[in-house]
Amino acid sequence: MSRVWMAAALLLFMVPVQADVLAITNARVHTVDALGTLDGATVLIRNGRIQAVGKQVRVPADAQRIDVDGAHLTPGLFVGLSTLGLVEINAVADTNDHRLSDFDGGAGFSIRRAVNPHSMLFGVARTAGVTRSMVAPAGGEQVFAGSGSLIRLDGSPNPVSHADVAQFAVLGSQGGQRTGGSRAAAMQQLERGFEEARRYGESGDRGLRASDFSFPVWDLAALHAFMESGQPLAVHADRASDIVHALDILSAWNIPMVLVGGAEAWKVAGPLATANVPVLLDPLGNLPQGFDRLGARADNATLLHAAGVRVGIMESSGHNVGRIRQYAGNAVAEGMPYEAALAAITRTPAEIWGVGDSVGRIAPGMIADLVLWSGDPLELATWAERVWIEGREMPLDSRQMQLRDRYRDPASAYQ
C-alpha cells in the first residue's frame, strides 16, 4: 500500500463516526408512560434508542427529520403470547413446532431453537405494527410445557432477543387430560414436580438415580434452575377454582405467577390483585366454550383492571397477531380505559416478561420500537404507515401484499 493510501486510511479511522440520529416531529405521541399523550411532540432517536420526547426537544443539525403532520405514534405492539414463528400452516405437521407428541419432555423443553426467522408471518405481523412477542410451547404429556422466549421482528437471523424467560404449565381440564383425566391430578403433578426438583437440587445428583424420580432428570435439572431464577410460571387456566388452587400452590413455593387465558379470572380478581398476578387474555374470549369457561364474559379485562390486576393481551395463534389492536379496542368498548387498553398491547406485556425497562414505552433510554398510524391506533379502519424496530425502519411488505399486487391486474398473472 502506498504512503498516500496509508495516510488516507489513517485519517479515515481518526474521523469520528456520525451517530445515527432520527427526529420524528409534529406527532401525536402516545408515550404509554407518565407523560401520557402529547400533541405536536418530537421523538429524538440516537443509535436505536430514544434520547428525548416532548414539545421542546432540540433537534440536532445532523438528524434526519420526519414531519408526520400530527399522526399518531405509539410504541411497537408487543403480543403477550403467540405462536409466531413456530407454526406456519396449522394443518401441516412439519411446520408446527410448538407442541410435543410421543416425547417424554416437559420443563426441560425450550422453544427458542424452533423460531423460524424466515417465517412469512413475520412480514404480516410487521404490517400490523407488531414488533415483539412472547412465544412458548404448548407442551406434550406433562403439566410442565417448557420455557418460552421473547422474539423481535427485525429480520435478523436470530429473532430471539431473550431466551427462556419463563416456564409454562397447563392446568384445568387440559392439564387433567395429560395426567389421567382429573384436574386434581394435574395440580398434584405440579406440586410433585417442584418437590422432586428441590430434592434433586439438594442432592447435587449424588447417589440418586433416574428411577428415584417420576420426572426425567433433565426436566428436574431445568425445573430446579427455574425455581432458583425468580422467573414466573405462566399457568394456562380458565376456571376460577383452578386459578385459586394454582395461586395457593405457587404461593407456597414462592414462585411468581402469570395467568394465561383466565376466562373466569374476573371472579377472583381480588386474590389475583393481592398476589400481584398479571393476566394475559383475549378480550373477545367471551363465549362458554367448554365447562372451564362457563363464566366467560366480554368485560373480563375491564373488571380485572378495575380491581388492580395488570392485564395484557395475547393471540393464541401466530397468524392473527395483528388482531390485538381489535382486541384492545373491544376492551375499551366494554369499559376499559383507553390508556390501559393501549398499555395492554405495548407496555404491560413487556413488564410481565421482564423487559419493561427497555421496550413498551416512548421514553428516554428506551429501545426505539415505534409505529406511525394513519389514525387512532385502536380503530379497525386504521393501519400502520411506518414501523421502526431498534431505530431502523422496517419494510411493510408481506407475501399477501405481493400476491395482491401481482393479481390486481389480471394480465400480470401471465407475465
Q: Answer for the pair 26, 68: CB distance below 8 angstroms, yes or no.
A: yes
The pLDDT value recorded for residue 229 is 97
- CATH number reported for the structural domain that contains residue 202 in this entry: 3.20.20.140
Check whether 7 has a pLDDT greater than 70: no
Between 21-35, 316-330, 331-345, the lowest mean confidence (pLDDT) is in: 316-330
Check whether 413 has a pLDDT greater than 70: no
More confident residue, 326 or 99: 326
The pLDDT value recorded for residue 5 is 43
Query: 227-284, pLDDT tens digit by residue?
Result: 999 999 999 999 999 999 999 999 999 999 999 999 999 999 999 999 999 999 999 9
Grid cell of 21 as nine digits: 440520529
Q: How far apart are CA 172 and CA 269, in angstroms?
A: 18
> Is 155 contained in some domain?
yes
Query: 72-98, pLDDT tens digit by residue?
Result: 999 999 999 999 999 988 878 777 777
Question: Number of structural domains, the chain?
Answer: 1
Query: 38: which strand partners?
Result: 29
338-345 contacts: CB < 8 A, separation 24 or more? 338/378, 339/32, 339/36, 339/37, 340/305, 340/311, 341/301, 341/378, 342/30, 342/32, 342/74, 342/377, 342/378, 343/32, 344/80, 344/301, 344/311, 344/312, 344/313, 345/77, 345/78, 345/79, 345/312, 345/313
Q: What is the mean pLDDT of residues 346-368?
A: 98
Mean pLDDT of the chain: 91
Check whether 4 has a pLDDT greater than 70: no
Domain of 132 in residue numbering reads as 77-360
Which percentage of the chain shows pLDDT scores above 70?
Answer: 92
Query: 197-234, pLDDT tens digit by residue?
Result: 999 998 876 656 667 888 998 999 999 999 999 999 99
> Is 274 contained in some domain?
yes
The pLDDT value recorded for residue 3 is 46
Q: What is the mean pLDDT of residues 173-192?
A: 94
Check whether 14 has a pLDDT greater than 60: no
> Is 277 contained in some domain?
yes
The CA-CA-CA angle for residues 404, 405, 406, to 5°, reads 95
> Is 125 contained in some domain?
yes
In the Cβ-directed half-sphere of 59, how many Cα atoms lie within 13 Å? 17
> Is 28 contained in some domain?
no
> Is 123 contained in some domain?
yes
- For residue 139, the 8-state DSSP code is B
The pLDDT value recorded for residue 59 is 96
Check whether 53 has a pLDDT greater than 50: yes
> Is 184 contained in some domain?
yes
> Is 20 contained in some domain?
no
